[in-house]
Structure 1
Amino acid sequence: MKNTVVTFKKAKEMNEKLTMLTAYDYSTAQLIDNAGINGILVGDSLGMVCLGYEDTLSVTMEDMIHHTKAVSRGVKNTLVVADMPFMSYHTSVYDAVVNAGRLIKEGRAHAIKLEGGVEVYDKIDAVVKASIPVMGHIGLTPQSVNAFGGFKVQGKDEQAAKKLIEDAIAVEKAGAFAVVLEGVPSKLVALITEKLSIPTIGIGAGVDCDGQILVYQDMLGMFSDFTPKFVKKYETLGEKMKIAFETYIEEVKNGVFPAEEHGFKIDEEVIEKLY
């Protein structure tokens, strides 16, 4: 079944959990789509897991459009959400609408995601009024890593918790169809999820969200720079890939690969005529 923003709304109403993963290329998107997931996020996390940056801040609009186009070509039934990169919407409402439009028109995304709560109300409102679905993102917002002083859990004291509740309500009122909660204490997440009529998607936010999202390289053990506490590794593909690469190297060096079955034949009489 084709997943849309309406699918997300109905899942919340029916108390059905939503599932999302990141993807950044055609072949991975195709595999995830075939598995039957609800949504794929083309995250600006590609800056770290694909491009080797230490954070997401260096990711450009061109990066996001390039990867979103690849992902969108690989899916048939999955909702594709593309991240708005750092400084693509912070400067003005006009920039927010124009750049969101580029991700839809050029990247072929179905929706966009941007970070922030009360302070980006006007941007979410304007993008939604331009007929572009918006997913919000509050809590540990990676584009604010310098302001936060690192990747830290958010909303742990009373003032910060109240701010997160206000942010969540603002994101909903601005017209977002869903909101990501990242790095937020579980009991606070349960409270926010209960208050909102739009689905909450958690990452490092406990079980009480309406859905979950993970970076696929994290959950498959393919990214070894660091592993967040909230990640469950469903496979150790990174180690398996390394073993496969080593085996390939060894077989090539020893003349084991390619074997006869990996080659193509030609009639012997053709070869004889060449001498």
Structure 2
Amino acid sequence: MNASQLSPAQTPDQGSTQAPAAAVTASGGHSLYGGVTNRRVTVRDLAAAKQRGERWAMLTAYDALTAGVFDEAGIPVLLVGDSAGNCALGYESTVPVTMDEMTILSAAVVRGTKRAMVVGDLPFGSYQESPAQALRNAARLMKEAGVGAVKLEGGERSARTIELLTESGVPVMAHIGLTPQSVHALGGYPVQGRGDEAAHRLQRDAKAVQDAGAFAVVLEAVPAELAAHVTETMAIPTVGIGAGVGCDAQVLVWTDMAGMTAGRVPKFVKQYANLRAVLGDAAREYAEEVRGATFPAPEHSFK
């Protein structure tokens, strides 16, 4: 597919950095960000946002405390990603993450939030065997952890699974483009959709998951023009990560976004804080005060 065949990306919304109590869109309806305050965000809210052209943000979360901060900030969707393998569990990739781990982490995020839709990842090996296996594990995340939806990787190859899950009452967020669970098959984390054949394959994957009943689809590491074109042809929201500004929504791994990740981060990451430095400075100051016998001070001691 040539660039001339692609529609241009839409212009990003320019809004406040603070969540309004009842934000109102140009069309007069309540916006997704800050507009739902007395219940959790649902798939219907996301569909309505797509219809009115409202963009929204998703972040990962792996514990109740962090999830609560993002919930209070008005983030409408939180993903308990299998990226926890890299960010919280010390694995080198997402592949080793288990259903037990995902269930524990997802339950913590649900307990720490009141408003956000919580989406739980189905980890590698928990759905590839058969649609029945996928349903069993998706039901576990919904029943034991309380998530409102699940996410799984794959386009055409996962269509039958998505169809069974949605028919069974499980909302599914699909994930195409770069699929991290396939890191060994891909030989790393290369950009997907470059060239005519790869671009057409990505479009087929997007249509397949939509036709199967997915309520949204993540596009990861996809050329921006291609992602914008896919977004314009889809009835369901697209969630970009390394896919340019033309998607309906964006997701980042929170430790990347907040500057907790050590070393190099992907090209598509913007760091909005440097929490690793802040936390390190606090730990060093604490240690120095303990060594110097200035902590605990009298005001921190009992009489």
Q: Indicate the residue corresponding to 1:156 in structure 2.
A: 194
Letter in 1 for 2:167: K
Query: For residue 14 of structure 2, what is the aligned residue in structure 1?
Result: none
Partner of 1:269: none
Shift of 1:100: 0.5
Q: Give the 3-state SS of the residue equivalent to 2:145 in structure 1.
A: coil
Choose 1 or 2 for highest CA Rg: 1
Partner amino acid, structure 2, of 1:122? R
Query: 3-state DSSP class of the match of 1:258?
Result: coil
AA at the equivalent of 1:188: L
Percent identical:
51
Correspondence for 1:249: 287
For residues 6-45 of structure 1, what are the structure 2 equivalents within 5 Å?
6-45=44-83
1:127-163 deviation digits (Å, cap 9, x = unpaired): 1111010000000110011111101100001111100
Q: Which residue identity is paired with 2:169?
A: S
The residue correspondences of 1:147-226 to structure 2 (distance < 5 A) are 147-226=185-264
Q: 1:75 aligns with which of 92, 113, 116?
A: 113
Shift of 1:226: 3.1
Matched letter for residue 244 of structure 1: A
Q: For residue 109 of structure 1, what is the aligned residue in structure 2?
A: 147
Partner of 2:17: none
1:272 matched to which residue of 2?
none
Alignment of 1:53-132 (within 5 A): 53-132=91-170
Shift of 1:263: 1.6
Q: TM-score, normalised by structure 1?
A: 0.95
Alignment: residue pair count: 265
- The CA distance in 2 between the partners of 1:252 and 1:35, in whole Å, is 34
Task: Provide the residue aligned with 1:139 in structure 2.
Answer: 177
C-alpha distance in 2 between matches for 1:93 and 1:134: 13
In structure 1, runs of 5+ residues without a counterpart are 266-275
Q: Deviations over 1:13-63 (max 9, x none)?
A: 010001100000000000000000110000000000101111000000000
In 2, distance between residues paired with 1:6 and 1:38? 13
Q: Letter of the 1:153 partner, please give it.
A: V
1:232 match: secondary structure:
coil
Following the alignment from structure 1 to structure 2, what is the Cα–Cα distance between the partners of residues 259 and 174? 62
Supply the distance in 2 between the matched residues of 1:95 and 1:58 (Cα, whole angstroms). 18
* Structure 1 runs of 4+ with >4 Å offset: none
Aligned-residue offset at 1:103: 0.5
Give the TM-score taking structure 2 as reference length.
0.87
RMSD between aligned residues = 0.7
Distance 1:80 1:226 in 2: 28
From 72, 84, 103, the equivalent of 1:46 is: 84
Cα distance between partner residues in 2 of 1:20 and 1:29: 11
Paired residue for 1:231?
269
1: CA distance, partners of 2:198 / 2:118: 31
Counterpart residue identity of residue 90, structure 1: Q
* Unmatched segments (≥5 aa) in structure 2: 1-35
Structure 1: how far apart are the matches of 2:231 and 2:100? 34
AA at the equivalent of 1:216: W
Shift of 1:225: 4.2
